[in-house]
Amino acid sequence: MNANEQIVMKEPASRSWSRWIKFDARAYTMIGALLSIWVLFTLLNDRFLSATNLSNLFLQMSVTSILAIGMVLVIVAGHIDLSVGAVVGFTGGVAAILNIWYDWPTIPVIVATIALGVAIGFVQGWIVAYGAVPAFIVTLGGMLVYRGLLLGTTGSVTISPFSPAMRTLGASYVADMIGWVLGGIALACTAIYYWRKRGARRKYGFPVEPAPLSLMRVVLVGIFVLGFVFVMNSYKGIPVPFVMVIVLALIFTFISKNTTFGRQIYAIGGNAEAARLSGINIRRKTMYVFVLCSALAAIAGLVLAARLNAATMNAGNMYELDAIAACVIGGTSLMGGAGTIVGAIIGSLVMASLDNGMSLMGIPTWWQYIVKGVILVLAVYLDINIRNRKKVI
């Protein structure tokens, strides 16, 4: 207690490191779980940690990750979106129609597809926020409508193949050199971020963490980033969809942590009445959350269609459940008010690792379903019971 109280007081940079390292039990448990899954699969099959397979793994998790980013916001605001899977299918179908049947070039196709996602989000968000219909119902209805629209517009046939430019969206790799450059930029940004943070804290007279600790953080990030680039480059390079995941995750982490909009979403999910009495326009913000979620679903739809090089009838089927599972495994509370983008990404990595590892071992599909289901429930069970224990103490 005493050590913590001192944080409130002004004092120059302190020698003690321990106070600067926050122990987030949940985050460590999540990463620990992921690593143990990886170790387990590596022991069972040494191909699991090969560059080829890891590259595949990151490619596979991309679509779910993009969906999970939007889903986190929706769940944090206290709602749910069951329609994202169908939106993935529908928007992918529309992109295929525009690109293949009407020969639209890549950029207009991307813009039109995302615009379609935004429009879908506006409609659903409006009904939830202003029409006061539960999101579960609105998006369940939406799921049926968009699946139906997909079948109707495409005439229930698989549309293929995309133009080569479109395909880069889902199935290409960043060249080795560019991979290194991206890694370098990421590292430089991290260093600049810590540097500026120290400066800003000094300006406000807050204590600043010891310089060697900041340096250590940057070095750790560096090892992680450059190691990742190295492994990916030893196969074909970083998959383009995964670069998109990283960029989107950064953007949305920024939105959730550093904008008033993000703060308001968490406040609405945490206590809608208190948020309302604090002058927050709950309805409008809720609608925007659905817009963002559907727009991300449209991006996921583009990536999936480009990766498969086709728009198929059952594209995105049940993806909403993968996205929700990823969020929940990543520590998002279905009660609203709590959850992080990073958690959801790790959650989808857990789900993708299970899929990938079990397929690699040739475990039959029916077993895979059972294992994933059990893991989902187990993760939430542990999370809730760890949290409850904290409350008692």
Partner 1 sequence: MTVALEMSGITKRFPGVVALNDVNFTAHAGEVHALCGENGAGKSTLMKVLSGLYPSGTFEGTIRIFGEEKHFHGIKDAEKAGIAIIYQELALVKGLTIGENLFLGQEPARYGVIDWERVYHESSRWLADVGLSDVSPEQIVGNLGIGKQQLVEIAKALSKNAKILILDEPTAALTEQEVEILLGFLREFKKRGVACIYISHKLNEVFEIADKVTVLRDGRTIGTYPISEVTEDQVISLMVGRELKERYPRKEATPGDVVLRVRDYSVMNPEIPGKKVIDNVSFEVRKGEILGIAGLMGAGRTELAMSLFGAYAGASQGTVEVEGVPVQIRRPEDAIKLGIAYVSEDRKKYGLVLGMDVKSNVTLASLRSLFSLGLLEQNKEIASGEHYIRSLRIKANSVETVVGTLSGGNQQKVVLGKWLLTKPKLLILDEPTRGIDVGAKFEIYNIMNELVREGVAVVMISSELPELLGMSHRVMVISEGRLTGVFDAKQATQETIMRAATGGNANERE
Residues that bind partner 1 (CB under 8 A): 1, 4-5, 7-8, 200-201, 203-204, 206, 257-264, 266-267, 270-271, 273-281, 337-338
CA nearest neighbour of 85 among 166, 134, 138, 147: 147
Residue 117 exposed, middle or buried by CB count within 10 Å (0-12, 13-18, 19+)? buried
**What's the min distance (Å) between Cβ of 386 and partner 1?**
16
Supply the minimum distance, in Å, between the C-beta of residue 131 and partner 1.
Answer: 18
Q: How far is CA 335 from CA 203, 265, 268, 306, in A?
A: 38, 13, 11, 35
CB 291 within 8 A of CB 122: yes
37 or 272, CB closer to partner 1? Answer: 272
Rounded to the nearest whole angstrom, what is the least distance from the CB of residue 276 to partner 1 in the complex?
6
Q: Which lies closer to partner 1 via its Cβ, residue 267 or residue 345?
A: 267
201 vs 217 by CB, closer to partner 1: 201
> Which residue in the block uniquely carries the two structure tokens 């479109």?
166
Judged by DSSP in three states, 320 sits in helix
Q: Which CB sits closer to partner 1, 279 or 362? A: 279
Q: In this complex, which beta carbon is closest to partner 1, that of residue 89 or of residue 337?
A: 337
Tell the smallest beta-carbon distance from residue 1 to partner 1 (Å).
7
Q: Which of 240, 306, 318, 248 is nearest to 66 (CA)?
A: 248
Enumerate residues 6+ apart whose C-beta is below 8 A from 300. 63, 66, 67, 84, 88, 316, 319
Q: How far is the CB of 66 from partner 1 (least distance, A)?
A: 24
In the complex, least distance from residue 44 CB atom to partner 1, rounded to whole angstroms: 40
- Cβ-Cβ contacts under 8 Å for 286 (sequence gap 6 or more): 77, 79, 125, 128, 129, 268
Q: Which of 150, 167, 144, 82 is nearest to 116 (CA)?
A: 150
Nearest-approach distance from CB 275 to partner 1, in angstroms: 7
Nearer to partner 1, 102 or 204 (CB): 204
Give the Å distances, CA to CA, from 79 to 1, 133, 202, 238.
Answer: 37, 11, 40, 34
CB of 186 to partner 1, least distance (A): 21
Kindly state the smallest distance separating residue 282's Cβ from partner 1, in Å.
10
Output 47 or 202, the one with its CB closest to partner 1: 202
State how far the Cα of 63 lies from the Cα of 282, in Å rounded to an integer. 29
Provide, rounded to whole angstroms, the least separation between the CB of residue 111 and partner 1: 24
d(CA 60, CA 375): 19
Cβ nearer to partner 1, comparing 175 with 384: 384
Q: Six-digit token pair at 156?
A: 């229930």
For residues 89 and 273, what is the distance between their CA atoms, to the nearest angstrom?
36
Q: Which residue's entry shows tokens 């069951």? A: 82
304: amino acid identity, one letter = L
> Which CB, 170 or 336, lies closer to partner 1?
336
Cβ distance to partner 1 smaller for residue 15 or 22:
22
Contacts of residues 39-43 at CB distance under 8 Å and 24 or more positions apart, as own/partner, are 40/357, 41/353, 41/357, 41/360, 41/361
Tokens of 199: 């400066």
